Structure 1
Amino acid sequence: MSMLINRSDIYDKNLNFLIGSGASVGVLPTLALQLKQSGTTAPHTLETLATKFEADDSLMCLIFSYYVEKVIAPAANFDISKLTDEQRAVLDNYVVFLETILTLLNKQRNGRRANIFTTNYDGLIAHCAERMIQHGQHDFILNDGGSGFVKRMLQTRSFNRFVKDQGSFDRHEVSVPQINLIQPHGSAYWYKDGENIEISYDLTRSTKRISEVPTCLKAKFEEFLGDKDKSDSDIAAENFSVDSAACAKFWQKYEELPIVNPTKWKFNETVFEEHYYQSLRALSYELEKPNSVFIVFGFSFADEHILSLVKRSLSNPTLKVFVCCFNDRQKADLEGKFNIFDNVELVRVDGDLDFDKFNGEVFNANPEPTA
C-alpha cells in the first residue's frame, strides 16, 4: 500500500525540501556505480570508491575524471532547447513538483515561502521555474540567492527577502509566493569572482569551462566501474597509471570548479566552502523553526554534515521529517540512521519510488482518495 504524506501535516507549515540526484535521473546520473565493494554484494558509489583509493594519485585522477565527464559535464552542457523525450519527462516532473508547492503556498495564511535545498549541480529547477513564469500561468518568485542586474552575485542574506504586491492606493498588500533555491554542493552555473560567487546561466560559458578540464579517463577503467561482476580488488590488481604531468594539469582545472568533492564533502575554493557552511546553517535554522516540515527525495544522506545536522534538528518536537526511500534496501539503510526518532517517517510505495511516483502518490495537493 502506498504511503501518502497527509495534507494536514504540510498545509500552513514551514515547508522545506531536500532534493538529491534521484530527482534528475534521465538528465544526470547519480553517483552510484556497478562495481562491487570487495568482499560484499554492495555496489560502490563514487564517494566510497574515492575514499578507498584516496592515497593513490593515479586512481584518484581517473575516478575524478569519471566524475567530471559523467556527472558534472552533463549539468554544465545541458541545453533546455534540445530535449530528448527522457529529459523532457524529468523536467515535466520538476514542473509538477513546483506546481504542488505553489498550490500549497497559495493556501497558506502566513509566510508564503518554501525552501528547496538541493545537492544537485544542475539548474533544472531554475530552468523549469523560468519557463513556468514565461508561460504566464504562475506568478511566483524563484530566489536562487542572486542579486544584481548585469552581473548577479550570490548572497545568502538574499534568501530572507520577500516580495509583496501592493494596491495602487496602499489599501492592501499580499505576499508573492516565493521558493528559495539553495544549493549546498555548488552549481554548474557558479563562477568565482574574487571573494564572491557569480551566478550565470549562460550555456556557452558553462560549456566552455567544463571543456577546459583535461580529464584522464581511460575506457578500460570506465568499463570496470560499470561491471557488476568486478570489485575494487580487481582495480587494485590492475595497472591503471596516469602520467603525473597529466594528473597535475587535471587537478589544476578541476579545483577551479564550484563543485563539492564527493570524498570529504568539501570545496577546494574557500569562497565556495564558506557558502556550503552558510547553506547548512540556513537548513539548520529552518528545521529548528516551530511547525516545520522537511521532505527528502532522491537523497541518500551520504553527506555526513547534512545527516548530522538533520539528526540534531530532530530534537525540535514540532518538526516532521518525511524521507522518501527509493527501494527496500535504501529503507533498511535509512532505518539504521533514523530508527530512534519518532518524528521521522520513512516513505515507501509499491515498486521503486521514482519522481513520477513521488509526484503521483507521495507529494501532491490533490484531494486524498476516499476509502
Structure 2
Amino acid sequence: MISIGDIYNQDINFLFGSGASFGLFPTLQLQVQRGEGSSRYTLEDLATKFEREQDRRRMIPLFMHYYASCIRPAERLSLEQAMASEPGAVVIKNYRTFLTTALEMVKRRKALDRRCNVFTTNYDGCFPLVADALIKEGNIDFVLNDGTRGFTQRILQARNFGAYLCQAGVFGRYQSSIPQINLIHLHGSVYWSKLDAAIQVGYDLSRREDLLDSDAMAVLQPFSAVLNDPASTLADVPDTAFSNAELEAFWAKYEQIPIVNPTKWKFHETVYEEHYYQMLRLLSYELEKPNAVLITFGFSFADEHILNLVTRSLSNPGLQVFVCCYSKSEHAAMEGKFKGHRNVECLVLQDREMDFTSFNEQVLTWPKAAVPRPNTPATPAPALLPAPDADGEDLI
C-alpha cells in the first residue's frame, strides 16, 4: 500500500505509538464503560477527569495502575523475557522486520547521509534491544543513534541527531556512509535520568528503585481489577486503602520519572520539558523538507502538540503523510482529523485490523518483483526496487 519505490530516496520519518508494542505492554485503553453504547474510557480520559475534579484519592491510584502495568514492565524488559511468551515473541519479530526494512530503504539512498528518523512516543526499549541483537549478529552494518555522546556517562543532546558516520578508504579515495536510524523519544524513556542540568541515558536498570512493593500491589489489585473489567462503569471505580501519606509519597517519586504523562500535562522537570520541545522542533524541521515523508503507525494523535505540528506542516506541498489506521472506525476518525489535506493518505485494511504484523506484511513491504539485471529484455516498472537478497545486498 506504500510504494517503497516512490519514497526510499526521500527524507523518511516514522512516528510510532503504543500500538507497535501491544502484546508486550497494554495501550492506554481501559475497560471502564462511559455509559450507553460500547465507548470506554482511556487512562488519559480518567486521569484528566479525576484531576479536574481534584479527586486525588482515585487519580493517584490510577497512575499506580499505569506504573504497575506499563512503566515497571518496560523498565524490566529484556529480549529473553519478551521472547518467553508468544505475543511478546511476535512483537519482537515485528520490530526486527521493521528495522530490517527501514535499513534496506536507507541503504539505497543516493545521498551521502543514509538516514531515516524514527520518532516514538513509547517509553520502552524495544528498538534499542532489537537493534543490539541485529548488530551482534553481524549481518547488517548500521548505527542506531539515540542522540547521546559519552562513554561512562552518555548525555543526550538534540544536536547529535544531525550527525552521521562515514567510512573512508585507506587512502581517502572514497567515502561511504553507514546506514543510520535516528531514534527520537518524544515522550521520554525509561532509560533516561536527570544528571544535573542534563539528561543521562543508561540501559542498565538493575538498580532502579521500585515504586510499588508487594504489599502496595496487593492493596492496588481491586482498583486495577475494576479498570480491566468490561462490565464496570465509572461508579464502580473504588477508593483504595492507601493512606493520604502513602499516596503522596508515591506521587512525589512518580513525578521524577522522565516521561510525559498520558494527560494534558507534560514533563515536570525543566530539563526534560526543554528537550521535549527541542524534539518537536526537530520533527517540524524534518517535515518542512522539500521531499519529506511521514509514516505513522500505532499512533492515535491524542497528543495535541504533535497533531497541531503535523497539521501545520501539511502546508508544505512536498510533504507526504501516510497515517496507518488500526480499524475502519479509526480510519474514519483520522479522515476527520486531516480532512481537506490532499497530501495525507489514511490507510486501512479491508479484511483485517492493521496490527504490526500486517503493517510489515501488507503496508510497508518490498515489491514482489525485482528489477531485472542489465541487458535483459524485460523493462522494469518504474515504481519497483531491487528486492534484497538473503544477505541484505542489492540484486543488481
Give the shorter-chain TM-score range. over 0.9
- For residue 7 of structure 1, report the CA deviation from its aligned partner: 2.4
Matches for 1:1-371 after TM superposition, within 5 Å = 4-54=1-51, 55-82=54-81, 83-84=83-84, 85-110=86-111, 111-206=113-208, 208-209=209-210, 218-235=220-237, 238-240=238-240, 242-349=242-349, 350-367=351-368
Secondary structure in 1 matching 2:118: strand
Secondary structure in 2 matching 1:204: coil
Report if the CA contact (8 A) 1:61-1:242 is conserved: no
What RMSD in Å do the two structures reach over aligned CA positions?
A: 1.9
Residue deviations 1:105-158 (CA, integer Å, cap 9, x gap): 111101310000000000110011111111001011100011001110111110
Q: Which amino acid aligns with 1:199?
A: V
Report if the CA contact (8 A) 2:58-2:239 is conserved: no
Q: Which amino acid aligns with 2:19?
A: G
Secondary structure in 1 matching 2:189: coil
Secondary structure in 2 matching 1:218: helix
- For residue 87 of structure 1, report the CA deviation from its aligned partner: 1.6
Aligned identity (percent) is: 46
Secondary structure in 1 matching 2:155: strand
- For residue 203 of structure 1, report the CA deviation from its aligned partner: 3.4
Stretches of structure 2 that go unaligned for 5 or more consecutive residues are: 371-380, 382-396
Secondary structure in 2 matching 1:61: helix
Q: Distance in 1 between matches of 2:341 and 2:347?
A: 14
Q: Distance in 2 between matches of 1:239 and 1:160?
A: 49
- For residue 81 of structure 1, report the CA deviation from its aligned partner: 2.9
Q: Distance in 1 between matches of 2:95 and 2:119?
A: 14
Report if the CA contact (8 A) 1:21-1:120 is conserved: yes
Report if the CA contact (8 A) 1:117-1:181 is conserved: yes
**Number of residue equivalences:** 364
Stretches of structure 1 that go unaligned for 5 or more consecutive residues are: none
Secondary structure in 2 matching 1:142: strand
Q: Give the TM-score normalised by structure 2.
A: 0.88
Report if the CA contact (8 A) 2:19-2:299 is conserved: yes
Using a 3 Å threshold, how does the CA distance of structure 1 residues 231 and 368 change in structure 2: closer, same or farther? farther
Q: Distance in 1 between matches of 2:215 and 2:272?
A: 22
Report if the CA contact (8 A) 2:135-2:141 is conserved: yes
Q: Distance in 1 between matches of 2:369 and 2:312?
A: 32
Deviates more, 1:260-269 or 1:192-201: 260-269
The residue aligned with 2:389 is: none
Q: Distance in 1 between matches of 2:337 and 2:266?
A: 22
- For residue 232 of structure 1, report the CA deviation from its aligned partner: 1.9
Secondary structure in 2 matching 1:351: coil
- For residue 229 of structure 1, report the CA deviation from its aligned partner: 2.1
Secondary structure in 2 matching 1:92: helix
Residue deviations 1:66-110 (CA, integer Å, cap 9, x gap): 110001011001122333132222111101101111111111101
Residue deviations 1:289-320 (CA, integer Å, cap 9, x gap): 11111000001111111111110011110101
Q: Which amino acid aligns with 1:92?
A: K
- For residue 214 of structure 1, report the CA deviation from its aligned partner: 9.3
**Greater RCO structure (CA 8 Å; 6+ sep):** 1
- For residue 241 of structure 1, report the CA deviation from its aligned partner: 6.1
- For residue 219 of structure 1, report the CA deviation from its aligned partner: 2.2
Report if the CA contact (8 A) 1:141-1:176 is conserved: yes
Using a 3 Å threshold, how does the CA distance of structure 1 residues 214 and 262 change in structure 2: closer, same or farther? farther
Using a 3 Å threshold, how does the CA distance of structure 1 residues 335 and 368 change in structure 2: closer, same or farther? farther
Residue deviations 1:156-182 (CA, integer Å, cap 9, x gap): 110001110100001000111110000
Residue deviations 1:332-362 (CA, integer Å, cap 9, x gap): 2112211221111111112110111000000
Using a 3 Å threshold, how does the CA distance of structure 1 residues 129 and 230 change in structure 2: closer, same or farther? same
- For residue 211 of structure 1, report the CA deviation from its aligned partner: 5.5
Larger Rg belongs to: 2
Q: Distance in 1 between matches of 2:215 and 2:267?
A: 19
Secondary structure in 2 matching 1:117: strand
Using a 3 Å threshold, how does the CA distance of structure 1 residues 265 and 95 change in structure 2: closer, same or farther? farther
Report if the CA contact (8 A) 1:327-1:353 is conserved: yes
